Amino acid sequence: MVAPYPSIDGAPLLGVHRLTKRFAGVVALNQVDLAIRNCERVSLIGPNGSGKTTLFNCITGFCRPEVGNIQYKGVDITHERPDKTALRGITRTFQNVKIFPSLSVADNLAVSLQQHQEDDLMKRILHMPSIRALDKIAAEKVDHFLGMIGLSRLRNESAAKLVYGQRKLLEFACALIPDPDLILLDEPVAGVNTTMVDQMKRYIMEINEQGKTFLIVEHNMGVVMDISERIIVLDYGVKIAEGTPAEIQQNQRVREAYFGR
Amino acid sequence: MKTSIQWFRWVGIPAFFLVVLTVLPLIFKTGFMINALINVVRWTIFALAFDLVAGHIGAVSLGQPIFYGIGAYLTAYLASELGLGWLGCMLVAAVLMALLAILAGLAFFRIRDVTFAIGTLGALIVTQLVANSAEKITGGALCKTGIPRPEIILPFLAKAIKIIQPIQYYFLLLPFLGFTILLYLALTRSRIGKAFTAVREDEARASAIGIYPLRYKLVAFAISGALIGALGSWQAQYVTVFCPSDMGQDITTALLIMVFVGGAARLSGVVVGAVIFSILPPFLQVMGSQYFQPAYQEILYGIILITVMLYMPDGLDGLAGRLFRRFQHHKKEGG
Amino acid sequence: MPFQLEIFFDNLLNGLTLGALYSLVTLGLVLTFSVIGIVNFAHGDLFMMGGYTFFLLNNSPLNLPYPVIALLVIILTAVYSMIIERVAIHPIINRSWRTYAITTIGLSIILQNGALAIFSADPKQTPTALANQIITPFGIRISLQRLLILLVVVIVFIGLQVFVKHTKLGKTMRAVSQNREMCQVVGINVYRIALITFGIGGAITGLAAALITPLFSVYNTMGSMLTIKALAAVVMGGMGQVNGALYASFLMGIVESFFGGYVAFAYKDVVSFGIFVLVLFLRPRGLFGKKIGL
């Protein structure tokens, strides 16, 4: 049992301790420590190749670190299967937007939600009232999120027909619908127009108000500075800085990492 | 909550289809018609079972005939040595093949993509070769003969009907088809079906939303194996002879054509494919012309398969659907 | 020469010849997979086409000498392969593995049944003078043809190494096999490389056909068994590893030959595939190391 990363108000929601990941000789993550507290908005920045997505992948169970551990709500999830980690209340989006093209927009949302509902095969076959109630709740949630992202009228269209910005919104909504506690966003505003950037910022702030924690990888510095309470900077797999947006902007090492030595 | 339209889709169309299949042989009693119908129903069951794995989960298993063959040989043993009845044989075959599928799946699903297809093909060849060689059990290349015909015991009439006529076999097969269609619909139009699609399209993403891909792959594989095993069981009792060549790659290629030309992962597509490609070959052969020989037919089907894969990936059924929608669209615009 | 030893060498030689055959056929397959990422389920049928071409040329009234026939078969098989690439492979080159697996299976259907329709099902014999010439070094009987095959295999594999490492085209192919997208960014015409790869694969397959057909007969379904054995060798060698495929092919050839000679001829194919399936379970990555690209 590793001591939780020291923080001001109790144990963190997510604790990453001395995480190291190697890929074919390259050290993608090097002894990375970080802690995310409940209801925080934390951004993870760094030049390309600094290990940000690798960190996400390790947290969500898509790669196994060689050294170190990851604790979520006090439980060691380091070597857990990704689907099990997801069921704990951690959701994520992907750098190259992943949705299911063969499913309709509504079904994309439904399938993201269904794992989190207590389902029972026998009850379903018998079509019992408890299951019907479950389905009703699911349908309502799907409607709610469709409305939130403005895709209600496209609900039965195949998700393959969505344009890039719509897909990003759909993926975002899919990350929210299971009522997670921790949401990992991988470049949520990459390649979208300014209207949507503002929209995304608003969503994140609103949902954060509702008690959700965000860890965001992003390159858009404007967004990062605007919405983050804390910023963590990676470079070549090493955490080189951590602090408030103001602190990071002043940080010499961060500047060097981005603009060269 | 099922609206009347949904009831129609779910139950109405398949029910209509089944009614037609029930009535047809009673009207046209020729041997040719019965044989054709048996063929269609057999292949539809086979294709639907195959589609669950190849179409919905996306695991193109080229070795599904293994379950068919083992189901048949198993039934030969069960029926002749243990005297198990028709239903008993099919059920035992189904259960055992489901178990085999789960074991095989645990091993094979660790392999990804093309290697999976190659591996399952290798497994089929091994099984066929073993069947060819293990003469004591399977009769080897000279086939397993003398499989007893089933007997239906009607307790309330204190009578036992021996199943001999094809038409009798047909009416034993039909409920099996009904069951398969219901099962297929129940699986694919439910939450499980959505999970299947998710696993097929993007396993990583599926994991990220809490789906354990292996579980769903095993479910599809087990059900597929069970259905195919039961079909093999029926087949053994129908023909009373089963040979290693009856579980060959030609079955796999036929299934591929039916499912992927018809339209994978859709009931209508698979049924269309199964119906067309089980009726067409004997029909064309009967027409007699020299150009309708099996070899030429196969060339044609191969060309159709490639054409569809290249230019119409959602199959003939998908194409029909698109044309239909475009037609409706034009009607709305024009009218 | 004691009888036992003679049997042993017989089997060994047979195994080496078989291994040589498998390795030449597999080479074309692993080349396409390595460079383009496509597994061609109709690959064995390409060999079959080469075989029938050899048969036609051999039995033609032109009475061409063996080397000329061999050369023609090589060229023609390369042409067949490139036609296949343009018609069936090029349109799907960026699609999923399912698409090209099913498409090439469809291709196999067409080729096998086409051969059936043209040539009928009986196997064709194509004896050549070389096949019938036996030499006996150290008291072992070898036909010159078999010796030639082994020699050719060695030359081809060494030649391929040289080609990939030292020629511009070879290096380009290696680059494409390692990172196709980057090559497209840099301006390499990946589609032309695909065509060339199929051409080279076809030529090698044609060479195999020209060498082997004199020893065995040609029949329309010979492609099936060859394809699946080549596929097994590719997988066992580690997907995309040319050297691994070579070793796996020889392994299969020798094991088959010895098993067939010493244990039971009927079961020899079972052994090959049994090993294949076993390897798949125990070491899905293949038996021989892991390298990215050609």
Question: Testing the interface with A: which of B3, B205, B217 to mutate, by most A Cβ within 10 A?
Answer: B205
CA-CA distance, A2 to A70, in Å (whole number)? 10
Instruction: Compute the mean pLDDT over every residue in chain C, rounded to the nearest whole number.
Output: 86
Q: Which chains touch B (3 or more CB pairs under 8 A)?
A: A, C
Contact B198 A116 (CB under 8 A): no
A60 to chain B: which residues are within 8 Å by CB?
208
- pLDDT (mean) for C80-92: 94
Dihedral angle sign, alpha carbons of residues A29, A35, A41, A42: negative
Who has greater pLDDT, C31 or B141?
C31
What's this model's pTM, rounded to 2 decimal places?
A: 0.91
Who has greater pLDDT, B116 or B21?
B116
- pLDDT (mean) for A170-193: 94
- pLDDT (mean) for B203-229: 95
- pLDDT (mean) for A140-147: 94
Q: What was the pLDDT predicted at B334?
A: 56
- pLDDT (mean) for B213-236: 96
Contact A100 B205 (CB under 8 A): yes
Question: Can you list the positions of beta strands (E) in chain B?
Answer: 151-154, 159-162
CA distance C112 to chain B (A): 8
CA-CA distance, B246 to C256, in Å (whole number)? 26
Dihedral angle sign, alpha carbons of residues B40, B42, B45, B47: negative
Residue A125 burial by Cβ neighbours in a 10 Å radius (0-12, 13-18, 19+): exposed
What confidence category does residue B116 fall into, taking pLDDT thresholds of 50, 70 and 90? very high
Q: For residue A6, is pLDDT > 60?
A: no
Rounded to whole angstroms, what are the CA distances from A45 to A227, A244, B101?
13, 13, 47
What's the start-to-end Cα distance of chain C, in Å? 44
Q: Beta strand pairing status for A67-72 and A14-23? A: antiparallel
> B312 — contact with chain C (CB < 8 Å)?
no
- Identify any residues that bridge with A213 across adjacent strands, giving them in sequence order: A182
Task: Produce one character per residue of A38-52: b if its CB has 16 or more CB atoms within 10 Å, e if not.
Answer: bebbbbbbbeeebbb
pLDDT tens for B87-109 read 889 999 999 999 999 999 998 99
Instruction: Compute the mean pLDDT over every residue in chain B, rounded to the nearest whole number.
Output: 87
Instruction: Compute the mean pLDDT over every residue in chain A, rounded to the nearest whole number.
Output: 89
Q: Would residue C157 count as lying in a domain? A: yes
CA-CA distance, A184 to A39, in Å (whole number)? 13
Q: Which two tokens stand for residue B276?
A: 């067309």
CA-CA distance, C207 to C151, in Å (whole number)? 12
pLDDT tens for B70-91 read 999 999 988 888 878 888 899 9
pLDDT tens for C166-201 read 998 888 888 888 888 888 888 888 899 999 999 999
Partner residue facing A101 (CB), from B201, B207, B265:
B201
> A110 — contact with chain B (CB < 8 Å)?
yes
Q: Would residue C11 count as lying in a domain? A: no
Which domain CATH number covers B247?
A: 1.10.3470
Q: For residue B1, is pLDDT > 50?
A: no
Who has greater pLDDT, C218 or C77?
C77
Could you give phi then psi for residue B165, rounded to 5 degrees? Answer: -70, 145
Q: What was the pLDDT predicted at C194?
A: 93
Who has greater pLDDT, C71 or B156?
C71
What confidence category does residue C63 fall into, taking pLDDT thresholds of 50, 70 and 90? confident
Residue-level length of chain A: 261
> Which conformational region is residue B59 in: left (phi greater than 0), alpha (psi within -120 to 50 degrees), or beta?
beta
Q: Would residue C228 count as lying in a domain? A: no
What's the start-to-end Cα distance of chain B, in Å? 35
Q: What was the pLDDT predicted at A4?
A: 41
The chain C residue lying nearest B105, using CA atoms, is C281
Q: Are B270 and B48 in contact (CB under 8 A)?
A: yes
CA distance A80 to chain B (A): 12
- pLDDT (mean) for C262-291: 77
Question: What is the domain count for chain B?
Answer: 1
Q: Would residue C91 count as lying in a domain? A: yes
Could you give phi then psi for residue A80, rounded to 5 degrees? Answer: -80, 150
Range of the domain at B89: 2-334
Q: Would residue C141 count as lying in a domain? A: yes
Q: Which two tokens stand for residue C119?
A: 């040539």
- pLDDT (mean) for B11-20: 76
How many CA atoms are closer than 13 Å to the CA of A71, on its beta-carbon side? 19
Who has greater pLDDT, B153 or B144?
B144
Which has the closest alpha carbon to B183: A229, A125, A213? A125
Partner residue facing A100 (CB), from B202, B207, B265:
B202
Q: What was the pLDDT predicted at B31?
A: 79
Q: What is the 3-state secondary structure (H, E, C) of chain C?
A: CCHHHHHHHHHHHHHHHHHHHHHHHHHHHHHHHHHHCCCCCCHHHHHHHHHHHHHHHHCCCCCCCHHHHHHHHHHHHHHHHHHHHHHHHHHHCCCCHHHHHHHHHHHHHHHHHHHHHHHCCCCECCCCHHHHCEECHHHCCEEHHHHHHHHHHHHHHHHHHHHHHHCHHHHHHHHHHHCHHHHHHHCCCHHHHHHHHHHHHHHHHHHHHHHHCCCCCECCCHHHHHHHHHHHHHHHCCCCCHHHHHHHHHHHHHHHHHHHHHHCHHHHHHHHHHHHHHHHHHCCCCCCCCCCCC
- Identify any residues that bridge with A185 across adjacent strands, giving them in sequence order: A216
What confidence category does residue B121 fall into, taking pLDDT thresholds of 50, 70 and 90? very high
CA distance A87 to chain B (A): 5
Question: Testing the interface with B: which of C97, C98, C221 to mutate, by most B Cβ within 10 A?
Answer: C98
Contact C109 B125 (CB under 8 A): no
Q: Which chains touch A (3 or more CB pairs under 8 A)?
A: B
A91 to chain B: which residues are within 8 Å by CB?
208-209
Who has greater pLDDT, B318 or B310?
B310
Q: What was the pLDDT predicted at C139?
A: 56
Contact A86 B204 (CB under 8 A): no
Contact A92 B208 (CB under 8 A): yes
CA-CA distance, A160 to A34, in Å (whole number)? 37
Q: Which of A62-76, A193-207, C279-293 has the lowest mean pLDDT?
A: C279-293
Range of the domain at C109: 19-222
Q: Would residue C163 count as lying in a domain? A: yes
Which has the closest alpha carbon to C115: C72, C59, C62, C51? C51
pLDDT tens for C35-56 read 988 999 999 999 999 999 999 9
- pLDDT (mean) for B61-77: 94
DSSP A5: P
DSSP A104: B
Could you give phi then psi for residue A34, rounded to 5 degrees? Answer: -160, 160
Question: Testing the interface with C: which of B116, B310, B311 to mutate, by most C Cβ within 10 A?
Answer: B310
Q: What was the pLDDT predicted at C24?
A: 92
- pLDDT (mean) for A57-80: 92
Question: What is the domain count for chain C?
Answer: 1
Q: Would residue C144 count as lying in a domain? A: yes
Q: Which of B132-146, B182-196, C167-181 has the lowest mean pLDDT?
A: B132-146
> A111 — contact with chain B (CB < 8 Å)?
yes
- pLDDT (mean) for A21-26: 86
- pLDDT (mean) for A187-193: 91
For chains B and C, CB pairs below 8 A equal: 110
Contact partners, residue B78, CB within 8 Å, separation at least 6: B84, B88, B89, B92, B93
Which has the closest alpha carbon to A221: A241, A245, A243? A245
Who has greater pLDDT, A70 or A249?
A70
Instruction: Report chain C's C-alpha Rg in angstroms.
Output: 19
- Of all residues in chain B, the percent with pLDDT exceeding 70 is 93
- pLDDT (mean) for C129-154: 70
Partner residue facing B299 (CB), from C117, C232, C269:
C117
Give me the helix-helix angle, B31-51 and B213-239, nearest 10°. 160
pLDDT tens for B279-315 read 888 888 777 676 677 888 899 999 999 999 999 888 8
> B134 — contact with chain C (CB < 8 Å)?
no
Q: What was the pLDDT predicted at A89?
A: 92
- pLDDT (mean) for C225-254: 89
Q: Beta strand pairing status for A41-45 and A213-217? A: parallel
Q: What was the pLDDT predicted at B123?
A: 92
- Of all residues in chain C, the percent with pLDDT exceeding 90 is 34
Q: What was the pLDDT predicted at C186?
A: 85
Partner residue facing B310 (CB), from C103, C116, C270:
C103
